[in-house]
Amino acid sequence: MAAIAAMIVAVFRNSVARFEVVDNSMRPALAPGDYLVAVRTATPRRGDIVVFPDRTQPNRDLVKRVIGLAGETITVKAGDIDIDGEPFTEPWADGPTLPNGQWHNPPNTIFVLGDNRSLSSGDSRVAGSVRVDEMYRVVYRYWPVSSVGRL
């Protein structure tokens, strides 16, 4: 029985994590001081908010929104986004998306951007695609009390 309990705890520990938002890159959806619960998932969806390791700074995580899925090509031109040649409208984006460019997502990766485009760093425009097995999907904000709820 103890072995089963230990296995359940180990699985839970590796599949659920807590994070604190420390910058403004996801405003207005998330703000510094927000505390989040996130889960591992193999099937991210467009629009999900995810947390993943910062490749440039060890022991630091980034929080961004999923824009592009595996196998898709994301094009930014004149501040707008196309996915596989089709215009993509984002209700959450704050500001134009710059710079112009084109990125292709390999298998098992996602393309992520911060909602506050002018203050978002470390997203896929700079760091490239994020591996799905490295990310957590944010499911709940538990602090501040005034903002508690599912995301």
CATH number at residue 109: 2.10.109.10
How far, in Å, CA of 36 to CA of 148, rounded? 9
What does pTM read for this prediction? 0.89
Residue span of the structural domain in which 31 resides: 2-150
Angle (nearest 5°) at CA 45 between 28 and 17 = 70
> According to the model, what pLDDT value does residue 4 have?
43
- What are the residue numbers of the active site? 25, 64
Q: Based on the structure, what is the number of domains in the chain?
A: 1
pLDDT along the chain (151 residues), means of 10: 42 77 94 96 94 90 96 95 95 88 96 91 90 96 94 90
What per-residue confidence (pLDDT) applies to 40? 94
Look at residue 9 in the predicted model and tell me its pLDDT: 43
Of 80, 126, 131, 86, which Cα lies nearest the Cα of 103?
Answer: 126
pLDDT at residue 8, as a whole number: 43
